[in-house]
Chains A and B, each alone.
Chain A
Amino acid sequence: MVALVVGQMIELESLTKTFGTGSEVFTALDDVSITINSNEFFTLLGPSGCGKTTILRVIAGFIDPTRGKVSLDGGDLLTSPPYERPVNTVFQSYALFPHMTVAQNIAFGLEMLRKSQKEVAETVKEMLALVRMTEMADRKTDQISGGQQQRVALARALAPRPKVLLLDEPLSALDFKLRKDMQLELKRLQHETGITFIFVTHDQDEALTMSDRVAVMNAGQIRQIGSPRDIYIRPVERFVADFIGDTNFLPVDLLGTTGDAARVRLASGTEVEAQAARGMQAAGGTVTMAVRPEHATLEPPEGAMMSGQLANVVYVGTDTHYHVELAEGGRFVIRRQNSPGQTQDWQEGQQVGLAFAPGVGQVLRD
C-alpha cells in the first residue's frame, strides 16, 4: 500500500477535564489523546455523558481543559479565544439566529471576518446551492422545517471555510427517514468541501455509515479508535463490542496466542481459532469471546461446535433472529438474512447445533 503523506490536522494530547471541587469532582475527560488527520470524517461515539461533547467544546473554545494540549496544524489552539479559531460548530439545537433570514444567518461568519460584500454574497449563494436551500434564502428561520434548519446550520458553519467542522449530534432532532438522507448528505458535503469533520453521536448506525474513523468513548476515556469495519469486527473489549451492534459473549479458555491469532476452548469442549485483541495476555485463564449474530449459522446438533435448544424464532423483515438456549447455559442469537423462496426450516423447541468459521470470534481484553 502506498503511504499517503497527510498533514496531521488536529492533535489532542492527554486532554483532561474535571468539573467541581473536593469530593464532588466529576471527570469529564480522562487523559484523551487523539490525532485527527486532515480531510478526515472522524466520529466520537459513546453513550451520553461519556465526554464526547466536552471534547468538541474544548476544540471550539467554549471550555478550557484542566490539563492537556490541543493543536491545529502544529500550532497551539488553546491560547486563542473561540472567535479566533478557524473552527466552526454545528450545534445540536442548530442555534440559528431567529432575528435573521436564512441568507443572513449564512452570511454572519463571513461578515464577522470582514469579507467584502461581493465575496459574502457569492459565498452565501454558493452555500445555499450546496445545501439546496436557494429558494428559502429570504425566509426567517422559524418559517422552515427542522431538516431545512439543519441544512442552514451546516451552510452557516461551512461558509467561512473552517479548517475543521465540529458537529454536535446534529441529526438527533430529525426523524428517521430524514436522518438517513442527511447522513449521506453530510458525507457528500465532507467530500465536496474537503474539510475535516469531527462528528459527535451516540448513534452507532450514524457512526458506522459516515465515518472514516471512529473513536469509541466511555466515562471520559477513549476505548478504541479505528475504521468502522475495525470497530465492528475487531472490538478490543467488551464495552466496544457491546455498544456497537449486537454481540454474543462466550466464556472461553485461552489456550495460547500467536500474533493476532488465538486458540481457545469453548465451554462445549470444542477448540477453535479466533482473533486476539491487541495487548491481551498470552495464554491461560477464562476470557470472553465475542461472536456477531450474523457470523454464526444453525446446523444439525450432531457433531456441531455448540448445541442447544431453539427458544425463539423472530421474524424482523430483512432478517430472522434465532435465539438458542445453549446446553452449557447462556443465550446465543443468530441472525440470518431472509431471501425469497426461503422455507422455514428450524422450529422453536428443536435441538440445534451452532457453528462459526475459524477466526470469526474475537477474544476481548478484559
Chain B
Amino acid sequence: MTDVATDSAPDLGVARARRSRNTRALLLAPAMLILLVAATGPLLIVLVYSFLTPGDYGGVVWEFSTKAWMNVVVERDFFSGELQLADAHLSVLWRSVKLSILTMILAFLFGFPTAYFIATRPRGQRDVWMLLIMIPFWTNLLIRTFAIMELIRNQGTLNTVLIWLGVIEQPIQMLFTEFSLLLGMTYVYLPLMILPIYASMERLDFSLVEAAYDLYATRLEVLRKVIFPLVKPGVVAGSILVFVPCLGAYVTPRVLGGGKQLMLGNLIELQFGQLRNWPLGAALSLTLLVLVTVALLFYVRTIGREGERHV
C-alpha cells in the first residue's frame, strides 16, 4: 500500500499541475478573446492607419506615409513651405496635460480631506457618506455637465445670485474658459480620487495616529509623517484614476469649452470628422495612449517600490 502511494504521488502531482494549467487557460480564454477582438485589434488598425495617407473624403488611402506622425508636432507652412511647430496641436496637447494635472491636484485637495472625514466617521455612517459621493456617479455624464453649464453661464445661477447680492455688476465669463473645464472635470472625477484614498484610509490603524500624537507630533506632523505615507498608495491610485480620463476627456471640454477650449479628445474627433484626416487622428490617439502609459508606468513603479509592504 505504502509503495503504491509513494510511487503514484509524484504522478498525481504532475497531473494535477497539468490539469490546473489547462483550467487556468480555459478560465482566462473569454477575457483574452474580448481583449484581443475589442482592444488589441482596433488598436492595431489605429496603428496601421497612422502610417497611411488620408483620403479626400475621409478614410485612408493605402499608401505608406509618416506625414501624420510628423504633423503631430510640426506642420508645413501653407505659403512658404517651411516646417514649423504645429502650434495648434501642441497648444491642445499642452492644455490637456496642464488641465489634467491641475484637475488631479484639485481633486486631491478636495478629495483627501473628504476621504479622511468619511474614514473617521463611526462605521455605520461611512456607507451613507460613500453613497452620497457615489450618487452623482449614477447620473449621466452629459446631464451633469449641462448642470454645471447652467450654474456658471452668464445668465446662470451663480452670476444671477452674485449680481442680485451686488457683489458684481456684470456677469463673470466663466463658461467656455479653462476655468470651466477645470471645474467640470474636478466635479466629474472627484469620486475617483475619494474612493481609493478612502479605501486605504479605512484600513489605516488609527491607533497609529494616537501614537503619533502621544509622541509629541502636532496635527500637521501627524498628517505628514504618519497618515500621508501610509495612505500614499491610495493617493497615487486616485491621482492616476483622475489623470488618465482627464487626458482623454471629450464630453466636458466639448460642452463647457464650447469649441474654444479644445482638449486632445476633441482634437482627435475633429480629425476624424470635419477635417477628414484619419491618419493624423490615429497618430494623435496613439500619442494620447503613450501619455497614459507613461502615467501608468509611474504608478506601477511608485506602488511597486513602497506600496506593497504596508497596505
Closest to A156 in B: B215
User: At the interface with chain A, which of B23-31, B146-154, B203-211, B283-291?
Assistant: B203-211
Could you tell me the distance between the alpha carbons of A61 and B210 in the complex, rounded to whole angstroms?
10
Within 8 Å of chain B (Cβ to Cβ): is A282?
A: no
Could you tell me the distance between the alpha carbons of A95 and B225 in the complex, rounded to whole angstroms?
14
- Interface residue ranges, A against B (CB under 8 Å): 60-62, 81-84, 87-89, 91, 93, 95-99, 108-109, 112-113, 140, 142, 156-157, 160
User: Are the C-beta atoms of B309 and A140 separated by less than 8 Å?
Assistant: yes
Q: Top 10 nearest A-B pairs by Cβ distance?
A: A109-B215, A95-B211, A112-B216, A98-B310, A95-B207, A82-B213, A112-B217, A99-B229, A89-B214, A83-B216
Q: How close is A166's CB to chain B, nearest CB, in angstroms?
A: 9
Using a Cβ cutoff of 8 Å, how many contacts connect chains A and B? 68
User: Are the C-beta atoms of B207 and A99 separated by less than 8 Å?
Assistant: no
For residue B230, which residues in chain A have a CB less than 8 angstroms away from its CB? 98-99
Instruction: Say which residue of A89, A142, A156 sits within 8 Å of B310 (CB atoms).
Output: A142
Could you tell me the distance between the alpha carbons of A142 and B309 in the complex, rounded to whole angstroms?
9
User: Are the C-beta atoms of A62 and B210 separated by less than 8 Å?
Assistant: yes
Within 8 Å of chain A (Cβ to Cβ): is B87?
A: no
User: Are the C-beta atoms of B214 and A82 separated by less than 8 Å?
Assistant: yes
Which B residues between 212 and 241 are near A, CB-CB below 8 angstroms? 212-218, 221, 225-226, 229-230
User: Are the C-beta atoms of B216 and A113 separated by less than 8 Å?
Assistant: yes
Could you tell me the distance between the alpha carbons of A61 and B216 in the complex, rounded to whole angstroms?
12
User: Are the C-beta atoms of B216 and A93 separated by less than 8 Å?
Assistant: no
For residue A96, which residues in chain B have a CB less than 8 angstroms away from its CB? 211
Could you tell me the distance between the alpha carbons of A91 and B214 in the complex, rounded to whole angstroms?
10
For residue B229, which residues in chain A have a CB less than 8 angstroms away from its CB? 99
Could you tell me the distance between the alpha carbons of A93 and B218 in the complex, rounded to whole angstroms?
22
User: Are the C-beta atoms of A95 and B216 separated by less than 8 Å?
Assistant: no
For residue B217, which residues in chain A have a CB less than 8 angstroms away from its CB? 83, 108, 112
For residue B309, which residues in chain A have a CB less than 8 angstroms away from its CB? 98-99, 140, 142
Knowing A83-B217, A91-B207, A95-B207, say if A108 contacts B310 (CB, 8 Å): no
For residue A156, which residues in chain B have a CB less than 8 angstroms away from its CB? 215
User: Are the C-beta atoms of A88 and B310 separated by less than 8 Å?
Assistant: no
Could you tell me the distance between the alpha carbons of A99 and B204 in the complex, rounded to whole angstroms?
12
For residue A109, which residues in chain B have a CB less than 8 angstroms away from its CB? 215-216
Closest to B226 in A: A97
Q: How close is A77's CB to chain B, nearest CB, in angstroms?
A: 13
User: Are the C-beta atoms of B207 and A93 separated by less than 8 Å?
Assistant: yes
For residue A89, which residues in chain B have a CB less than 8 angstroms away from its CB? 210-211, 214
Knowing A97-B226, A98-B310, say if A88 contacts B207 (CB, 8 Å): no
Closest to A92 in B: B207
Closest to B211 in A: A95
Instruction: Say which residue of B210, B216, B226, B310 sits within 8 Å of A160 (CB atoms).
Output: B216
Could you tell me the distance between the alpha carbons of A192 and B214 in the complex, rounded to whole angstroms?
22
For residue A112, which residues in chain B have a CB less than 8 angstroms away from its CB? 212, 215-218, 221
User: Are the C-beta atoms of B310 and A95 separated by less than 8 Å?
Assistant: no
For residue A113, which residues in chain B have a CB less than 8 angstroms away from its CB? 216
Knowing A83-B218, A140-B309, say if A95 contacts B205 (CB, 8 Å): yes
Could you tell me the distance between the alpha carbons of A98 and B230 in the complex, rounded to whole angstroms?
8
Instruction: Say which residue of A61, A93, A108, A157 sits within 8 Å of B212 (CB atoms).
Output: A108
Could you tell me the distance between the alpha carbons of A91 and B215 in the complex, rounded to whole angstroms?
12
For residue B310, which residues in chain A have a CB less than 8 angstroms away from its CB? 98-99, 142
Q: How close is A322's CB to chain B, nearest CB, in angstroms?
A: 47
Knowing A99-B310, A140-B309, A142-B309, say if A160 contacts B207 (CB, 8 Å): no
User: Are the C-beta atoms of A95 and B208 separated by less than 8 Å?
Assistant: yes
Sample 12 A-B pairs with CB under 8 A, ordered by A number.
A61-B213, A82-B214, A83-B214, A93-B207, A95-B208, A97-B208, A98-B230, A98-B310, A99-B310, A108-B215, A140-B309, A156-B215
Could you tell me the distance between the alpha carbons of A266 and B3 in the complex, rounded to whole angstroms?
74
For residue B216, which residues in chain A have a CB less than 8 angstroms away from its CB? 83-84, 109, 112-113, 160
Q: How close is A219's CB to chain B, nearest CB, in angstroms?
A: 25
Q: How close is A176's CB to chain B, nearest CB, in angstroms?
A: 25
For residue B212, which residues in chain A have a CB less than 8 angstroms away from its CB? 97, 108, 112
User: Are the C-beta atoms of A88 and B215 separated by less than 8 Å?
Assistant: yes
Could you say which of B207, B212, B214 has the most chain A C-beta atoms within 10 Å of its C-beta?
Answer: B214
Q: Mark B10-51, 1 if CB is under 8 A from A, else 0.
A: 000000000000000000000000000000000000000000
